[in-house]
């Protein structure tokens, strides 16, 4: 996820203080140097952070495989965007989902209807980058 974040031009990563993967030596090694170029912010809770982002004019986009709304129908190129991804097992919490300005899925053509969290956030981050390139 962190390598994709860096490669797609993500400027910051928000992580909850509790119940999330820590930035351990293993994570640092797997990220292949991306950690050095990303800004991290740890927050008490993701729903409260989403609310603050909304108030700051950031488009908060939750990723949920079961959503009928498509990532590709959003205008992601002209506004600040925060991508919100839940855990591998449970996805977005109900409160996080409720606070997001949009909850979208990535349209898929195969028989399996969901991507893992790392792949989903990577696809979405590169879609933001693609749309930004078109707007500039």
Output the domain CATH number for residue 66.
3.40.1280.10
Average pLDDT over every residue of 12-24: 69
Q: Which residues pair with 14 in a beta bridge?
A: 41
User: pLDDT tier at 25 (50, 70, 90 boundaries)?
Assistant: low
Counting other chains too, the contacts that 88-96 makes at CB distance below 8 Å and 24 or more residues apart are 88/116, 88/117, 91/64, 91/65, 92/62, 92/63, 92/64, 93/46, 93/47, 95/47, 96/46, 96/47, 96/50, 96/62
pLDDT digits (tens, 9 = 90+) for 62-113: 999 889 999 999 999 999 999 999 887 788 999 999 999 999 999 998 887 6
Average pLDDT over every residue of 34-45: 76
The secondary structure of 99-130 as a DSSP string is: HSSEEEB----SS-----HHHHHHHHHHHHHH
Number of separate domains in the chain:
1
What range does the domain containing 86 cover?
2-135
């Amino acid at each position: 996820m962190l390598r994709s974040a860096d490669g797609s031009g993500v400027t910051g990563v928000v992580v909850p203080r509790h119940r999330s993967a820590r930035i351990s030596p293993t994570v640092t090694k797997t990220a292949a140097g991306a950690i050095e170029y990303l800004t991290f912010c740890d927050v008490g809770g993701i729903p409260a952070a989403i609310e603050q982002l909304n108030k700051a004019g950031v488009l908060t986009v939750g990723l949920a495989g079961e959503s009928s709304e498509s990532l590709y129908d959003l205008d992601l190129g002209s506004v600040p965007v925060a991508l919100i991804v839940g855990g591998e097992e449970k996805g977005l919490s109900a409160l996080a989902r409720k606070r997001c300005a949009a909850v979208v899925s990535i349209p898929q053509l195969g028989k399996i209807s969901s991507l893992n969290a790392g792949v989903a956030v990577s696809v979405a981050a590169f879609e933001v980058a693609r749309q930004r390139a078109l707007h500039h």
